[in-house]
Structures are given as structure tokens and as C-alpha cells.
């Protein structure tokens, strides 16, 4: 069995991995809907979005691996890092839940990603700016698609509204982590690599509030809970997800495909 790899601690690499891992892990979770969505057309839409996110993750991980300078590539970063080396917020790794839960999470993440990509287009890192230029269009579509579903379900039947409200209550505490600030963010902002995520909070809240109001959903009270996925401290779901995702590469180390 190939040993797990470690990535460097440079703020630049960590900043890229937090974003790249977010895209990769959410892509994995959305992919779990394949063949299970409520209707065929939505099945395609979800797969489509998972593919977009995976494409974004590939660009970011490839770039992070290059900056890390240990000779790794995107596959090794994806398949040979263990849980503590993954830097996505816990929000992304939570199990897919029901359709309301998935659409609400997609909406929250797409809104956040869209704000981030818009700013990253002017990153001091030309490669990152190019990835953002491509991703920003995808995120805009993801946001619109998910927002429509949030409104449709929130303002739908009694059952769908109750499910959407339950999804909101369940996901709410995990949104905090998206806007937490620390040294990695501060360094990225200072170098002009990208914004500190905390800067995105007011715009994110405004866009969320607008759609939630359209959907007739009440925002829960702010939670003091602070998840720590960006520092490698994950929920109990992460290990299981990685075991599934990494199985083949771990069983046949170095296999080419």
C-alpha cells in the first residue's frame, strides 16, 4: 500500500487546497445522486454540476501540487491524502441528505463560490485568475439552478416546505466555517492571491436572505458552532467518503488509468 502523502504548510498551497478540496468533495457528494434524482432531467443537471466542480477541483489541485513542489499531481492529492490532510470546510462533506438538503447546500455553496470566483479573477496568481475566469460562469448557473429549487420547494407544498426548513436548520451551523478567518486567509489577502473568505460574508448573507425570503423560509438563529474542516479536523463522515473515493488507488497503488 502506498503511504499517504503530506502537503506543505505554505499559506498559498493551503489556500488553494481549501478551495480545491471544497470543489472536489462537493463534486463527490453530488455525484452520489447519479441515477437517484427525482426526475431524469434533474439527474442530468446534478451530474452536470458535479462535473463542473470536478473540473474546477482538477485545475486547483494541479496548480497547488505544482506550487507545493514535491512532485505530486492532482491524482495523488485526491487519492493519497488522508482525512487530516484534506482542507475543505465540513459543510461540503456532509452526506447528501434528501433533495431539499442537497439543493439548499448547493445554493449556499454556489453563492459563496460565485463571490469567491468573481474576486479571484483579479488574483495576483495568473493561473488562479484563469481558473476563476472559467469557473465564474459555471458557478453563476449553479447558483441560479439551486436558488430556483430552494424557492420551488420552500414555497411548494407543506411537505416540501417542512423539508426545506429542516435542511436549513441542519446546515445553518456549518455555514460559519465559510467565513472564519485565520492566518492563511490573511496571508492570501495580503499577497493579493485572493480575498480572505470573511470578506465575502455580507454579500453572501444578502444573497441568501433574498432567496430564503422568496422561498418563505425563516433564517435560524446564529449558531456558535465552529467546524474546523479547513484545518483538517473533519466530521465522522469524511473518513467513510474518502474510503469509498480512494479505494482503488489504495488497493492498486501507482496504477495508471
Question: What is the binding site for other proteins (CB under 8 A)?
Answer: 39-42, 44-45, 48, 141, 144-145, 148, 152
> Is residue 228 classed as helix, strand or coil in its secondary structure?
strand
By the 8 A CB rule, do 207 and 140 touch?
no
Shortest distance, CB of residue 41 to other proteins, whole angstroms? Answer: 4
Look-up: residue for cell 416540501?
160
Shortest distance, CB of residue 5 to other proteins, whole angstroms? Answer: 35
Nearer to other proteins, 52 or 125 (CB): 52
Shortest distance, CB of residue 142 to other proteins, whole angstroms? Answer: 11
Nearer to other proteins, 119 or 134 (CB): 134
Shortest distance, CB of residue 100 to other proteins, whole angstroms? Answer: 15
Nearer to other proteins, 152 or 240 (CB): 152
Nearer to other proteins, 44 or 162 (CB): 44
Sign of CA dihedral 138, 41, 160, 102: negative
Q: Round to whole Å and give the CA distance between 137 and 127.
A: 17
Q: Round to whole Å and give the CA distance between 98 and 1.
A: 36
- Max Cα–Cα distance, the chain, nearest Å: 54
Q: Round to whole Å and give the CA distance between 36 and 46.
A: 10
Amino acid at each position: 500500500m502506498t503511504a499517504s502523502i503530506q502537503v506543505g504548510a505554505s499559506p498559498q498551497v493551503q489556500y488553494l487546497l481549501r478551495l480545491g478540496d471544497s470543489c472536489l468533495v462537493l463534486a463527490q457528494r453530488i455525484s452520489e445522486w447519479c441515477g437517484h434524482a427525482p426526475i431524469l432531467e434533474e439527474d442530468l443537471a446534478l451530474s452536470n454540476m458535479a462535473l463542473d466542480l470536478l473540473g474546477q477541483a482538477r485545475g486547483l489541485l494541479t496548480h497547488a501540487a505544482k506550487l507545493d513542489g514535491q512532485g505530486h499531481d492532482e491524482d495523488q492529492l485526491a487519492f493519497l491524502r488522508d482525512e487530516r490532510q484534506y482542507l475543505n470546510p465540513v459543510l461540503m462533506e456532509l452526506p447528501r441528505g434528501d433533495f431539499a438538503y442537497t439543493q439548499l447546500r448547493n445554493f449556499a455553496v454556489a453563492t459563496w463560490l460565485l463571490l469567491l470566483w468573481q474576486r479571484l479573477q483579479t488574483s495576483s496568481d495568473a493561473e488562479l485568475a484563469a481558473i476563476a475566469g472559467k469557473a465564474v460562469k459555471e458557478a453563476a448557473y449553479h447558483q441560479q439552478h439551486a436558488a430556483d429549487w430552494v424557492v420551488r420547494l420552500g414555497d411548494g407544498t407543506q411537505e416540501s416546505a417542512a423539508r426545506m426548513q429542516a435542511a436549513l436548520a441542519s446546515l445553518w451551523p456549518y455555514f460559519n466555517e465559510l467565513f472564519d478567518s485565520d492566518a492563511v486567509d490573511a496571508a492570501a489577502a495580503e499577497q493579493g492571491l485572493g480575498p480572505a473568505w470573511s470578506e465575502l460574508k455580507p454579500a453572501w448573507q444578502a444573497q441568501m436572505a433574498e432567496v430564503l425570503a422568496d422561498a418563505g423560509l425563516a433564517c435560524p438563529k446564529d449558531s456558535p458552532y465552529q467546524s474546523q474542516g479547513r484545518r483538517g479536523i473533519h466530521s465522522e463522515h469524511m473518513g467513510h467518503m474518502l474510503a469509498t473515493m480512494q479505494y482503488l488507488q489504495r488497493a492498486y497503488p501507482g496504477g495508471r488509468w
